[in-house]
Structure 1
Amino acid sequence: MRIQDYLKEHKLITDGAMGTYYAKLLNNETAVSEYANLTEPEVVIHIHKEYIKAGAELIRTNSFAANQQTLKVNKKEQKAIIQSAYKLAKQAVEESGKEVYIACDIGPIPENGDRAEEEIAAEYKLICDAFLQEKPDIFIFETFSDFFYLKNLIAYIKERAPEVFIITNFTLNKNGYTGKGISAKVLLETIADTEGIDAGGFNCGIGSGHMFHILKKLRFPDGKYIVSAPNAGYPEQFKNRMIFMDNEGYFEGNMQRIVDLGVDIIGGCCGTTPDYIKKIADNIDLKEEERGIRFRFLEDDTKELTYEKNDFYSLFTRNKKVVAVELDPPFDAKDDSIIACAHKLKASGAHIITMADSPMGRSRVDSILMSVKLMRETGISVMPHVCCRDKNMIAMRSGLLGAYINGVRNILVVTGDPIPSEQRQSTTGVFDYNSMQLMNYINEMNREHFLDDPIFFGGALNYGRGPVDKVIERMKKKIQAGAGYFMTQPIFADEDVDRIRYIKSKVNTKILCGIMPLVSYRNANFIKNEITGIHVPDWVVERYHPDMSKEEAERVAALIANEIIEKLSPFADGYYFMLPFNRVSLMDKIVIK
């Protein structure tokens, strides 16, 4: 019977974790099970048969990590491992004498800066082709964090084998988000809207208790089968090994609650042995529940995000030229100077202070904490930059929640300047997100936690980075992720003014044009020659000379800024001032048009 037909009348139990169980049998946590397809096939068959004997009605091929980067193999070796994985699973089923489904298991290929997206996509297709030669009935994509490669792969498989049943599973953290910042809710919505996906849900990442609490808040889509395969729990380190506790009874109890929510396919991931699957098979009531349970709502999730309470947002709605001024937080604990700067900026008519997040990759006071203090001391609106460079997923969420409860409602999302080369041996960038992924994450937090007064966030516009149409394409993706405005790099040259004008004509968004008044001959030369992404024409540098006084240089800086503002005024929604060395006295000399 095809799995499609079986699931119309039954729920289904899968196997548990091949990788961690293999390592447990060998008493070697670092053992990689996929190699065993060629070196120890009898062990792989034995594990499959143990899961089948325990009650698994679907087993996954031993191929989750069968990619070239993880296994350090070439294409020929990779294909041999993959096809052996399918043959061994098939042999195990035949020897068991039971009717058991086999799913071709594909995990995510590691992404890093050394491999282009096209290269990774090609390898996924190579893996699919290797399996398709075996004429399988089921593919399962597991532990993914987004749909970036999946949608094309699903179409690719269905074009070659239309009857293949495709399962897509994603890994969540305890808060219900993937590592790319996508919520469980959005994942299920995308599964529902993606033609070719027959079943989908969540595996790995979390234990059964957290899995239940996440699933019970979700609406399950009609027309798709829902999958749940949590970890046994959370491992502990013992003698340099990661050990999962034996908690089959607790796991089984939570899986019963998960089944009662209307989940169709259940199983286990890391740490779940045949004993876990047997406990499920022997004790869980798998009778079919009413499909109507899929339409329950615990809360209204259809409400649109609105920003009426946000003063910064209201400036855009009144078509007022917005003035944002960037300040750099101090390197040390002395904040008197920056607080004095903030008072002066408020008096000069600035609408909002943006607080850089350790620019140039050098540690400064935290942008959110400094912003909160400025807001409390001066009453001016603040917009901390939040960059992806320094904080992992946990710290990012904590920081955003902390910013919110302290009254921060505006954020600039940036990827972050790279770490200086001399520090790279001792300091590493985190980059759990890029700026677009972080935007998606904040957008989901807005809907989940901040719906009544959401965070209004924008992004950086590196207008000179590549062909203008690519720049526009990236902007539109950020807008889809929730970005409400963009702030550009400093603008000096006429051709850059024209480029921004063209971008503005093609993208319906608010743009704050970057203005950087250069405060000395040395400052102008430094920005021109050492800062990537900022185009300073020769004529700008020639307006300065080495012997200028501070006052003379500031007058020239203000004159140039006013000239650029004049050119930008017809289409700019406002201005984003970056003042070298927090030289706020310049704002008294600049005319906003």
Structure 2
Amino acid sequence: MTKKEFREYLSKGAIVLDGATGTNLMAAGMPIGVCPEAWVMEHQDVLYDLQSAYVKAGTNIVYAPTFTGNRIKLEEYGLEDRIEEINTELVRLSKRAVDGKALVAGDMTMTGKQLFPLGDLMFEELVDVYKEQASILDHAGADLFVVETMMSLQECRAAVIAIKEVSDLPIMVTLSYNEDGRTLFGTPPETAVVVLQSLGVDAIGINCSTGPMEMVELVEKMAQYSTVPILAKPNAGLPELEDDKTVYKMTPQEFADAAVALVNAGASIVGGCCGTTPEHIKALSDAVRELPIRKPLERHRRILASERKNVEIDLDGGFIVVGERINPTGKKKLQAELKEGKLDLVRQMAMEQEENGAKILDINMGMNGIDEKEMMKSVIYEVSSTVDCPLCIDSSHVDVIEEALKIYPGRALINSISLESEKIEKLLPVAAKYGAMFILLPLSDEGLPKDAAEKHRIINTVYDKAMALGMAHEDIVVDGLVATIGANPDAAKECYETISYCKNDKKLPTICGLSNISFGLPERMYVNTAFLTMAICNGLTMAIANPSQELLMNAAFSSDMLLNRPDSDIAYIERMNMLAEKKAQYETVVVKKQPDSAAGDSTGTNTNGGNDAIFQAVLKGSKGSILDEVKKVIDAGKKPDEIINESLIPAINEVGELFNKKKYFLPQLIGSANTMKHAIDYLEPLLEKNDTGENMPTLVIATVEGDIHDIGKNLVVLMLKNYGYNVIDMGKDVPCEDIVNKAIEENAAVIGLSALMTTTMLRMKDVIELCKEKGCSSKVIIGGACITQSYADEIGADGYSKDAAECVKLVEKLLQK
């Protein structure tokens, strides 16, 4: 099926997907812990009967049972050599079951391994893993692809890029969201829509994790941004424990009634996930088949995105500053750090620019003495995990920009593409492939345009070539091309003319670099500021500037307010309040600082953070600098245990609070935890035996039998180790007996159990019962995506935590009893 045929197919009315596969296979006898794909190959009649029933119930698209058929997953069962056989045979089995009455989607999902920098799997490796499976599914005869139950936007990107490199089939992508409306990695639904539809995904949505009514608000948010159909595949409510079995109690009619709400919210493709049966799908099909469906937006919204945040570029909206600081040109200190491979100054610049009002950050690594491509990739990883601002990729080399776009977990802006042969022929297709926006620079092989007419011709030519590649009008921002007024007295007026032409005639946003206008003049800031305010009045949308220049930034905020742009008055007041608070804090520090306090301050005794460099290093995840700070205070006479108790522990506590308040997300939490671990590893050999008093309690942590997911468990282990506990990590898919025996052998104070799947959460109860049988006195705590406090109470667990930060508090509380 071609993408065009798929779009036509979806436009005819509501499309019904199948229901659950895993929970129905379990009900049919599939044991916990086996490879589902291999089991289905040996029990083909079970899948055939299930999928045939789904088609009879009204299903239009059936998912082939290739969910965990990628090489990394199959390796866990020793089946990697059968990857082609398994994926091919399962697609053929599904095709036989539907008998031409429904489409068959090749199903792909996570590998279970974390991507760098949170894990050791590189993005390029993951793309290759997905390409292998996608190529097999394509050749096996799948009609389309579905990438489902995803928690990481970056892993979604890898799968989509991989599929598009080996196949022209349509692609649907669905992510799973937590109760707070974000994925595990902090991505809101609107950001997932922006990033994935820019990559060319044909439908996007949500599956698993919740019941249908909990998805309604998320679907409504997606509908505000989506130019492609929206998909919703909820569970049959939330799981409950009944007679030692996980059950979903939502009836087919209740499920169908809720599905109507999903269609009304904007979903035009609906189905069922965990707990749903052919009866649920029959009721759903009957309920939604004749409903009017939402048409996707005809025009894109002009949006850049990081993994966690959208930034909309509105012709009549607030002025946007693109922070220019992460550029080594003229910055000797930054150049020196980059040559040493250190990125602490990069992190600091990123955070300061975001704090000072930059909405986008420009990244340029052009300098001698480094590998620009590799350094650009390192900085992309570092900055992406540090701040929420989307990035602008700035390089004179096409290959550097392509590598940056490939690994960037969002939707970036390219700086820039001109009519110069290499840029228009090589870089423009790269922008289209990775779904990037770009700055259109009105230059050609002949150099600067001679007059306004030539400048307009270049703009229109590049624009037309972008449209011919399938890009959208909203993908382009035009550079006003600021010249130096000292050399050309009409430079400002010519730039204003370009800005007005783009806004009024072409309906395109504009951007410029401010500093060129004042080159060679004294007191350049005044010229730059006057130029900026006049440019904003003429319609300038964005500028590449230094957001720490207070006069310039205040002029931008003031200009927005004078032009009565939406919410500009509130933005101006908030900025002035922020600046006043900063000034008051600075004056307090300067006035109250005691003459003899310098030595004391440098040793990092402030348990509330303040000027404590070690505290701040953990808070900001500055792994590269923390050992230098630790060594300084050790040389100043501070004891290792004092550093741990007065700087490191308070810092990680603060990180936990920020995580709980949703100001930090998983990347920042792991970054801070790894930074603290770096310091702990250095300090541990220096601790005197009596420094820490009694030995810390032993904890045994494991993912239960049959469950091969360990992202959450690994983070819990890292956090608990940072607090000094003796943690024994038993890994994933661990039998109950092994867990309990290890706890008895090690005299563990606590057993921590993790499960992601509803089909494996029952093993937690088995561990608790085995502890009673064997007289194990360890407290048992549980957690995981499908786990709730009520489930913990029901099975008799001693505690439940929803994340790693909360787990630390839970353990501390239990051990105090």
TM-score w.r.t. the length of structure 1 is 0.55
Cα distance in 2, alignment partners of residues 285 and 366 from structure 1: 61
Cα distance in 2, alignment partners of residues 147 and 311 from structure 1: 35
Cα distance in 2, alignment partners of residues 24 and 124 from structure 1: 30
Cα distance in 2, alignment partners of residues 128 and 292 from structure 1: 27
Aligned partner of 1:46: which letter? Answer: D
Cα distance in 2, alignment partners of residues 315 and 432 from structure 1: 41
Cα distance in 1, alignment partners of residues 221 and 660 from structure 2: 21
Cα distance in 2, alignment partners of residues 366 and 57 from structure 1: 58
Match of 1:245 in 2: 249
Match of 1:52 in 2: 55
What secondary structure does 1:66 align onto? coil
Match of 1:260 in 2: 264
Match of 1:141 in 2: 147
Match of 1:91 in 2: 96
Cα distance per residue 1:114-169 (max 9 Å; x no partner): 6554443322111112112224320110011233244354344334432x111111
Q: Cα offset for 1:29?
A: 5.2
Cα distance in 1, alignment partners of residues 135 and 670 from structure 2: 43
Cα distance in 2, alignment partners of residues 43 and 230 from structure 1: 23
Match of 2:16 in 1: 13
Cα distance in 2, alignment partners of residues 99 and 79 from structure 1: 25
In percent, how many aligned pairs have the same letter?
A: 20
Aligned partner of 2:255: which letter? Answer: F
Q: Cα offset for 1:13?
A: 0.3
Q: Is the 8 A contact 1:219 1:294 kept in 2?
A: no
C-alpha change, 1:326 and 1:354, in structure 2 (3 Å) is: farther
Cα distance in 2, alignment partners of residues 90 and 52 from structure 1: 11
- Which one has a larger percent helix, Structure 1 or Structure 2? 2
Match of 2:102 in 1: 100
Q: Does 1:121 align with 2:127?
A: yes
Residue of structure 1 aligned with 2:113, choices 108, 111, 114: 111
Match of 1:275 in 2: 279
Q: Cα offset for 1:81?
A: 1.3
C-alpha change, 1:47 and 1:292, in structure 2 (3 Å) is: closer
Q: Is the 8 A contact 2:72 2:129 kept in 1?
A: no
Match of 1:189 in 2: 194
C-alpha change, 1:32 and 1:326, in structure 2 (3 Å) is: farther
TM-score w.r.t. the length of structure 2 is 0.41
Q: Cα offset for 1:414?
A: 2.2
What secondary structure does 2:194 align onto? helix
Q: Is the 8 A contact 2:145 2:171 kept in 1?
A: yes
Cα distance in 1, alignment partners of residues 139 and 300 from structure 2: 42
Q: Cα offset for 1:415?
A: 3.7
Aligned partner of 2:43: which letter? Answer: E
Cα distance in 2, alignment partners of residues 290 and 400 from structure 1: 32
Q: Does 1:426 align with 2:685?
A: no
Structure 2 residues without counterparts, runs of 5 or longer: 302-309, 313-317, 321-356, 358-570, 627-639, 685-694, 703-709, 716-817
Residue of structure 1 aligned with 2:203, choices 199, 202, 205: 199
Cα distance per residue 1:286-307 (max 9 Å; x no partner): 433353889999xx99578766
Alignment RMSD: 4.8
Aligned partner of 1:84: which letter? Answer: E
Match of 2:578 in 1: 310
When structure 1 is superposed on structure 2, of 256-265 and 213-222 the one drifting more is 213-222
Q: Is the 8 A contact 2:72 2:80 kept in 1?
A: no
Runs of 4+ displaced beyond 4 Å: 27-32, 112-118, 292-297, 300-307, 311-318, 320-329, 350-368, 383-387, 410-413, 419-425, 427-435
Q: Is the 8 A contact 2:604 2:614 kept in 1?
A: no
Q: Does 1:36 align with 2:39?
A: yes
Cα distance per residue 1:71-95 (max 9 Å; x no partner): 423432122111111000011012x
Cα distance in 2, alignment partners of residues 130 and 316 from structure 1: 63
Match of 1:179 in 2: 184
Cα distance in 1, alignment partners of residues 177 and 653 from structure 2: 26
Match of 1:467 in 2: none
Q: Does 1:167 align with 2:172?
A: yes
Q: Cα offset for 1:223?
A: 3.1
Q: Cα offset for 1:312?
A: 9.2
Cα distance in 1, alignment partners of residues 68 and 188 from structure 2: 24
Match of 2:559 in 1: none
Q: Cα offset for 1:412?
A: 12
What secondary structure does 2:230 align onto? strand
Structure 1 residues without counterparts, runs of 5 or longer: 330-336, 371-382, 404-409, 436-593
Match of 2:27 in 1: 24
What secondary structure does 1:167 align onto? strand
Aligned length: 388
Cα distance in 2, alignment partners of residues 116 and 159 from structure 1: 18
Q: Cα offset for 1:8?
A: 1.9
Cα distance in 2, alignment partners of residues 257 and 296 from structure 1: 25
Cα distance in 2, alignment partners of residues 221 and 424 from structure 1: 50
C-alpha change, 1:265 and 1:338, in structure 2 (3 Å) is: closer
Q: Cα offset for 1:431?
A: 6.8
Aligned positions of 1:283-432 closer than 5 A? 283-289=287-293, 291=295, 308=575, 309-310=577-578, 314=582, 354=616, 386-387=654-655, 397-400=659-662, 414-416=672-674, 417-418=676-677, 426=699, 432=712
Cα distance in 2, alignment partners of residues 282 and 187 from structure 1: 30
Q: Does 1:234 align with 2:507?
A: no
Match of 1:154 in 2: 160
When structure 1 is superposed on structure 2, of 272-281 and 221-230 the one drifting more is 221-230
Q: Comparing both chains, which one has the higher relative contact order based on Cα–Cα distances under 8 Å and sequence gaps of 6 or more?
A: 1
Aligned partner of 2:22: which letter? Answer: G
Cα distance in 2, alignment partners of residues 169 and 310 from structure 1: 39
Q: Does 1:79 align with 2:84?
A: yes
Q: Cα offset for 1:258?
A: 0.8
When structure 1 is superposed on structure 2, of 352-361 and 236-245 the one drifting more is 352-361
Cα distance in 2, alignment partners of residues 221 and 188 from structure 1: 7
Q: Cα offset for 1:54?
A: 1.3
What secondary structure does 1:9 align onto? coil
Residue of structure 2 aligned with 1:63, choices 66, 72, 88: 66
Cα distance in 1, alignment partners of residues 673 and 292 from structure 2: 47
Match of 1:473 in 2: none
Q: Is the 8 A contact 1:354 1:385 kept in 2?
A: no
Q: Cα offset for 1:211?
A: 0.6
Cα distance in 2, alignment partners of residues 352 and 312 from structure 1: 27
Q: Is the 8 A contact 1:144 1:170 kept in 2?
A: yes
Cα distance per residue 1:38-87 (max 9 Å; x no partner): 21111111111111111111000001112344342343212211111100
Cα distance per residue 1:390-449 (max 9 Å; x no partner): x6xxx8653457x9xxxxxx99972442376997962669975999xxxxxxxxxxxxxx
Cα distance in 2, alignment partners of residues 367 and 79 from structure 1: 49
Cα distance in 1, alignment partners of residues 284 and 290 from structure 2: 10
Q: Is the 8 A contact 2:146 2:171 kept in 1?
A: yes
C-alpha change, 1:9 and 1:400, in structure 2 (3 Å) is: closer
Cα distance per residue 1:180-236 (max 9 Å; x no partner): 111112111212322x21111111112112111322344443531111111112112
Cα distance in 2, alignment partners of residues 301 and 120 from structure 1: 28
Cα distance per residue 1:223-258 (max 9 Å; x no partner): 311111111121123455422224322221221011
Cα distance in 2, alignment partners of residues 156 and 286 from structure 1: 36
C-alpha change, 1:83 and 1:384, in structure 2 (3 Å) is: closer
Aligned positions of 1:546-561 closer than 5 A? none
Q: Is the 8 A contact 1:232 1:271 kept in 2?
A: yes
C-alpha change, 1:271 and 1:412, in structure 2 (3 Å) is: closer
Cα distance per residue 1:331-354 (max 9 Å; x no partner): xxxxxx958x98xx8xxxx99985
Cα distance in 2, alignment partners of residues 424 and 127 from structure 1: 45
